[in-house]
């Protein structure tokens, strides 16, 4: 995908998604006349569905032909992509069937139902969701909507990176070093953001962030091939939106060409970042949404030392009881 593809997606998304701001985070840098800090947060949890996924889902569904729209769509997701497809389908008048695992967060299930999505529940393994979605597509003639390994999805998610580049310019960072931290699940968001930022800020450092318990992208980029983690391993992380067992062929190719590296964060660091987001930015984050902030807070030694740092916060859809438990864990770990 190219910057032109992402710009075209941005046009399609006008009025559909929020141009989320870059929120200053932390104290002003000494001597900065504008009071600018080192770090900024891009809160995609402020999207109407509580996560970035509406960008790629709407762009993909809007690109369908009239015949495809009439057939309806099916997808598989543990939550945020499910909500994105359900919302996009509602806006476009398309039937949507969503295959979800039986342990999907209830807040995400409720969001899908509220937008009229028809939920088909399967087991927790990602392979079960993929197989069931394929079966429904074949049986009912539904159009299969991938969750990340699709050029339309990548272009739509990349609009967040386009905004970051534009907003850095607006903040006065026209040139010079900058660092962008972006979560990696299946790689759709990170591929799109890396594509946009690399095209518009070739001097920027773009780093993916993964939980230590689901670091398949780190291993893939290190070995130069797609490395698959067993679902039983990735299921251990609290970041349910980042439990993909592997990158896709397209996302691996994009990240291998455009990403500078991967930072991994621990479960305690994720919980502590959720606490810091609530206290320091008044933001409610789900674990997946807190990973990039955790990289900034606890892995500064792995980041460039100069220029602004942007942490993309991917979502805030978390069940209240789970949120309370994670916040308590984060406080106990040092806040």
Query: What are the CB-based long-range contacts (under 8 Å, 24+) for 171-176?
Result: 171/22, 171/36, 171/40, 171/308, 172/34, 172/36, 173/307, 173/308, 175/203, 176/203, 176/306, 176/307
Please say whether the dihedral angle defined by the alpha carbons of residues 116, 120, 121 and 125, taken in this order, is positive or negative: negative
Determine contact, residues 11/158, Cβ cutoff 8 Å. Answer: no
Q: 177 with 306: CB under 8 angstroms? A: yes
The residue from 190, 191, 245, 314 that is catalytic is 314
Distance CA(44)–CA(54), nearest Å, equals: 10
Which phi and psi (to 5°) does residue 103 adopt? -110, 15
How many C-alpha atoms does 144 have within 13 Å on its Cβ side? Answer: 16
Cβ neighbours of residue 282 under 8 Å, at least 6 residues apart?
none
Strand order in the sheet with 39-43: 23-25, 39-43, 309-313, 179-183, 205-211, 261-265
- Rounded to whole angstroms, the Cα distance separating 211 from 214 reads 5
Active-site residue (options: 53, 77, 245, 246):
53
Strand order in the sheet with 118-122: 118-122, 96-101, 73-76, 143-144
Whether 191 is catalytic: no
Which helix (H) or strand (E) element contains residue 98? strand 96-101
Task: Give the HSE-up count for residue 101: Cα atoms under 13 Å, Cβ half-sphere.
Answer: 21
Torsion 130-105-312-81 (CA) sign: positive
8-state DSSP, 173: -
310: β partners: 40, 180
**Is 220 tagged catalytic?**
no
Q: Which residues are catalytic?
A: 53, 314
């Amino acid at each position: 995908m190219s910057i032109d593809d992402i710009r075209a997606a941005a046009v399609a998304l006008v009025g559909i998604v929020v141009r989320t701001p870059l929120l200053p985070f932390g104290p002003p840098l000494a001597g900065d006349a504008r009071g600018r800090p080192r770090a900024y947060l891009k809160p995609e949890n402020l999207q109407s569905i509580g996560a970035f996924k509406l960008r790629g889902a709407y762009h993909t569904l809007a690109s369908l032909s009239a015949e495809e729209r009439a057939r309806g769509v099916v997808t598989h997701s543990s939550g945020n992509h499910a909500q994105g497809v359900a919302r996009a389908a509602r806006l476009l008048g398309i039937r949507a069937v969503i295959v979800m695992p039986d342990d999907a967060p209830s807040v995400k299930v409720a969001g899908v139902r509220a937008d009229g999505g028809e939920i088909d529940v399967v087991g927790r393994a990602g392979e079960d969701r993929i197989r069931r979605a394929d079966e429904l597509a074949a049986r009912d003639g539904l159009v299969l909507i991938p969750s990340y390994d699709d050029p339309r999805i990548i272009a739509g998610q990349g609009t967040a990176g386009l905004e970051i580049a534009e907003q850095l310019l607006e903040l006065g960072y026209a040139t010079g070093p900058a660092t962008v931290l972006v979560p990696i699940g299946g790689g759709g968001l990170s591929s799109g953001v890396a594509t946009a930022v690399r095209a518009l800020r070739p001097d920027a450092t773009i780093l993916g962030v993964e939980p230590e318990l689901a670091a398949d992208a780190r291993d893939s980029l290190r070995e130069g091939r797609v490395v698959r983690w067993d679902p039983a391993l990735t299921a251990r992380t609290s970041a349910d939106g980042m439990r993909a067992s592997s990158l896709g062929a397209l996302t691996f190719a994009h990240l291998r060409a455009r990403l500078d590296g991967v930072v991994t964060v621990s479960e305690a660091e994720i919980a502590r970042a959720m606490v810091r987001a609530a206290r320091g930015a008044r933001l409610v984050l789900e674990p997946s949404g807190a990973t990039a902030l955790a990289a900034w807070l606890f892995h500064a030694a792995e980041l460039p030392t100069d220029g602004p740092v942007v942490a993309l916060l991917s979502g805030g859809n978390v069940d209240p009881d789970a949120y309370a438990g994670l916040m308590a864990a984060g406080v106990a770990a040092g806040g």
